[in-house]
Amino acid sequence: MLRKMCLFLSCALLIDAQLFFPLKAARQLTERLRAKLSQYRDRTRERNTQMICYDVVGCFSLPHKNSPLQKVPESPAALDTKFLLFTRQNRTEPELLHYADASGSLRSSSFNVFKPLKVLIHGYTSKWNQSGAVQVKDAYLQLYDCNVLLVDWQNGARGPQYTSAAANTELVGRQLGILLLSMVEGGLQPHNIHVIGFSLGAHVAGAASEPLKIKGHLMGRITGLDAASPLFRSNHFREKNKKLDRTDARYVDVLHTDASPFLADGFGLWEPIGHADFFPNGGQQQPGCRDRRSSVLITQLEGGKLTRESACSHIRAFQLFTETISSKLGPPGAAPCQFIAYSCPGGMPAFEKGHCFPQLPKGNLTGETGLFGEDSTGEGIMYFSTRASSPYCGAFSRHPTAGLRLRGAAHQRHQRRAANRPFLPPPLCDLPH
């Protein structure tokens, strides 16, 4: 509408100039206005067609004009993304898979299409072997007979320019999506794909779903661990198909540990984007963390480095998820870490007052419940409590009179009830025989 109005006014000025100005002055004004209109049309045409294309992954266009992220991804050669495959046949030495020659590299690897796939994606300024992903990989291979794929996009995620890393998520996601599509076309069942992405890695996971969806496939599950907020807050900031949302998998569960309604504070998304969105301790500052206010702005001013002072609550997301897996390796008979979560219609105020943890006189849990972790269940917005340090599981609810530890018989009752809940993620790993 604004563009049409500008064009209308420009045409009106041309007519007015010819009617009311002296002939010479009118001609000069007319020429200047025509030149301005021509420049505007050229810029509009250039902007509408400005894109960059690469072999295999295709083309990438600039975001819409209102987006603050006016960048296209760097080249595949500059990013040098690596896809590292681990199985029980190669637990420590990865096999390198190539998305551009996926079928060839898959045939020569230990990848097994009949075994489920776990994909781990690190976040901003991190590396595949520095984010705790190795610990999760080792736990998975000890617990289950799976394929585990680690995505190493450290060149694309490097600082200090966060905007470049945010733009690169689309290309890395497309590379991963092409590789996953080759796996599916080779026999892997889409519902046996579980992608876990931390921070910007969560949006890489969302972008990776696009090549699969175009071919009519939907992966089984995506777990977003405090999906990055800066430049991804809404569709006005980043288009829907370039970030994580609930349409990207059969079950999308999202953990929010560093959310904030303010743009300059909070690395994680404030708004719910999945089938189930979990807000531990209210989803903002986590117990044991002393996050600095305006942490996003401070991080940019300090060269894009994530520190425990500025990102403690953000990093906690990966720590909580890791504990739900590693705790399964505990002594025989020990209860694994399971964060039992509750829906809370009253939101954060009700959570703070302890109204989200109802119980009957005999200690039976009531209300809508779910689980966060490796075995996530549930739907909608849910809350749970954690301890301030590891082990994070076993925190008491915030209800002042509840005093109920979320384990034991209550956990068993929850599991029985959860069996009938919608949006349950499918079985994703084969238990060892």
Which is catalytic among the residues 105, 131, 199, 313? Answer: 199
Beta carbons of 89 and 110 less than 8 angstroms apart: yes
Single-letter amino acid code for the residue at 44: T
**Backbone torsion region of residue 403, taken as left when φ is above 0, otherwise alpha when ψ lies between -120 and 50, otherwise beta:** left
199 is catalytic: yes
Beta bridge partners of 369: 342
Catalytic-labelled residue, pool 122, 152, 191, 226: 226
Instruction: Residue 195: name the closest of 168, 173, 215, 214 by CA.
Output: 173
Token pair belonging to 327: 């705790």
Dihedral sign for Cα atoms in the order 274, 81, 52, 174: negative
Q: Which residue out of 314, 385, 397, 414 is catalytically annotated? A: 314
Q: Give the dihedral of Cα atoms 237, 240, 243, 249; nearest 10 deg.
A: 160
To the query of whether residue 294 is one of the catalytic residues in this protein, the response is no
SS3 (DSSP) at 351: helix
Instruction: Specify which residues 150 forms β-bridges with.
Output: 84, 120
**Residues sharing a CB contact under 8 Å with residue 22, sequence separation 6 or more, in sequence order:** none
- In whole angstroms, give the CA distance from residue 284 to residue 348: 10
Strand pairing category for 117-121 and 193-198: parallel
Amino acid at 336: P
Q: How far is CA 193 from CA 18, 116, 149, 177, in A?
A: 68, 6, 11, 11
Q: Round to whole Å and give the CA distance between 377 and 32.
A: 64
Instruction: Report d(CA 67, CA 78) in Å as an integer.
Output: 24
**Active centre residues (catalytic):** 199, 226, 314
